[in-house]
Amino acid sequence: MKDQFYNYIQQLQDTITSKLESIDGKAKFREDHWKRPEGGGGRTRVIENGNVFEKGGVNISAVHGKLPDSMQSYFGVEDADFFACGLSLVIHPKNPMVPTVHANWRYFEMYPSAAIRQAQLDTLRTGSEKKIIDQWFGGGQDLTPYYLFEEDAKHFHQICKNACDKHNPDFYPNYKTRCDEYFYNAHRNEARGIGGLFFDYCKASDGMSMENWYNFVTEVGNSFLEAYVPIVEKRKDLPYTKEQRDWQEIRRGRYVEFNLVHDKGTLFGLKTNGRIESILMSLPPHVQWVYDHHPEVGSEEEKLIKVLQNPREWV
């Protein structure tokens, strides 16, 4: 399964970066290959200063080794090894009328530690294959607009729902709700954006085989461009003012706050000695923190804030 999924995210990275380059028409993704000293590595692709995309990254990684003590405590295990691979992307467009987007699809395996496996081998004199003691998929995709176009929100959520409905009619309402709950800046009492899907710990014990979960997760991954690209193409050439650009940068500050304070992926990367440049590629290049800022009453900016404070059903 890990080989199957890693092959998939390699191909998906190629598909997504090629499409985004064609939309931008100017900037190209810079590619870095990196290795993690404890095991594994990744392929980072970053785009900057384009016609459409001011900053973005589409990264894949596959890392393995001893699960750090802090993460063992988090997962409630003792002395375990792990393998994790996934694709993670964040795209920050230049035009404030185009939303920022985030997506991630990942797979995780956990094994008895090397010391435990050796003790078992000494006792049982069996083969040396690692025994998987736990495995799961996770992921999702979500949209963070700066100006609310309701038709864009409905389109994004409809594509998410279409992907889910092919596998289980309960998936979209469940994972949409989880997304609203997860991408939430509790210290601001507002959502990071208008949501999408968020799922984690998708295991065979949940009533579906790992192959079925693979089919679901890849269905969602394959739907990403259909969900996002039409919105970009519709909004990327709209005019905007300096004040609207300032608002975009203020809202980007909230995005940064979530990623550094709450995001599990950022935490996992930092705790497992991931590549810091790849982990923090999600941070936008131009951000503002304005003291005690509030949008004008009745403005388009306030309209967005009201939706972020009270998540809606879009489809």
Please report where in the chains the tokens 């069996």 appear, as a residue: 126
DSSP 193: S
Contacts made by residues 17-21, CB under 8 angstroms, sequence distance 24+? 17/45, 17/47, 17/58, 19/225, 19/229, 20/47, 20/53, 20/56, 20/58, 20/91, 21/47
Look at the chain and count its residues: 315
pLDDT surpassing 60 at residue 272: yes
Q: 253 lies in a domain?
A: yes
Q: 96 lies in a domain?
A: yes
Q: Which domain holds residue 97?
A: 2-309
Q: 227 lies in a domain?
A: yes
CATH of the domain at 193: 3.40.1500.10
Positions marked active-site:
102
pLDDT surpassing 60 at residue 118: no
Q: 283 lies in a domain?
A: yes
Specify the number of domains making up the chain. Answer: 1
Residue 259, token pair as written in the block: 């990623």
Q: State mean pLDDT over 29-56.
A: 95
**Contact present, 51 and 273 (Cβ < 8 Å):** no
192-251 per-position pLDDT tens digit? 999 999 999 999 976 799 999 999 999 999 999 999 999 999 999 999 999 999 999 999
pLDDT of residue 116: 54
pLDDT of residue 179: 97
DSSP 27: -
pLDDT of residue 125: 46
pLDDT surpassing 50 at residue 121: no
Q: 263 lies in a domain?
A: yes
What three-state secondary structure class fits 190?
strand
**Contact present, 90 and 281 (Cβ < 8 Å):** yes
236-253 per-position pLDDT tens digit? 999 999 999 999 999 999
128-182 per-position pLDDT tens digit? 457 888 999 999 999 999 999 999 999 999 999 999 999 999 999 999 999 999 9
Whole-model pTM: value is 0.92
Q: 314 lies in a domain?
A: no
Q: 315 lies in a domain?
A: no
Q: 87 lies in a domain?
A: yes
State how far the Cα of 182 lies from the Cα of 191, in Å rounded to an integer. Answer: 9
